[in-house]
Amino acid sequence: MEVFEVGLIGGPAERWYRKARPEVEAMPWGTLPMADFAPDVVARARRVWTMAAFQEYRTGAACTRALQHLFACGAPVDLIALCSRFPLDEVVHVELAARLLQELGGAVELRFDPERLGPEPSPDRDPLMRAAELMMRVFCVGEAVSIPILRASWQHAELPLIRDVLARIVKDEAVHGEVGAWFFGWCIDAFDGDERAHLRAVAHDEVGKLVRSWERFRPSARPEREVDLHGEAFGLTTGDSGAGRLGWMPESIYFSTAHAALESAVLQPLAALGLDPREHASIPEHP
CB of 172 to Fe ion, least distance (A): 6
Residue 177 · residue 146 · CB < 8 Å: yes
What residue ranges bind Fe ion (CB under 5 A)?
56, 90, 93, 143, 173, 176
CB of 26 to Fe ion, least distance (A): 18
CB of 239 to Fe ion, least distance (A): 27
CB of 193 to Fe ion, least distance (A): 32
**Between the CA of residue 116 and those of 58, 109, 124, 129, what are the distances in Å?**
9, 18, 19, 21
Q: Which is nearer to Fe ion, 119 or 198 (CB)?
A: 119
Q: Which is nearer to Fe ion, 143 or 232 (CB)?
A: 143
Q: How far apart (Å, rounded) are the C-alpha atoms in residues 88 and 193?
A: 36
Q: Which is nearer to Fe ion, 85 or 125 (CB)?
A: 85
Q: Which is nearer to Fe ion, 69 or 176 (CB)?
A: 176
CA–centroid distance for 129 within its chain: 23
Q: Which is nearer to Fe ion, 168 or 204 (CB)?
A: 168
Beta bridge partners of 2: 112
CB of 39 to Fe ion, least distance (A): 29
CB of 206 to Fe ion, least distance (A): 15
Q: Which is nearer to Fe ion, 83 or 131 (CB)?
A: 83
CB of 97 to Fe ion, least distance (A): 9
β-strands 236-237, 249-250 pairing = parallel
CB of 32 to Fe ion, least distance (A): 21
Q: Which is nearer to Fe ion, 146 or 257 (CB)?
A: 146
Q: Which is nearer to Fe ion, 56 or 206 (CB)?
A: 56
Helix axes 39-72, 77-84, angle to 10 degrees: 160
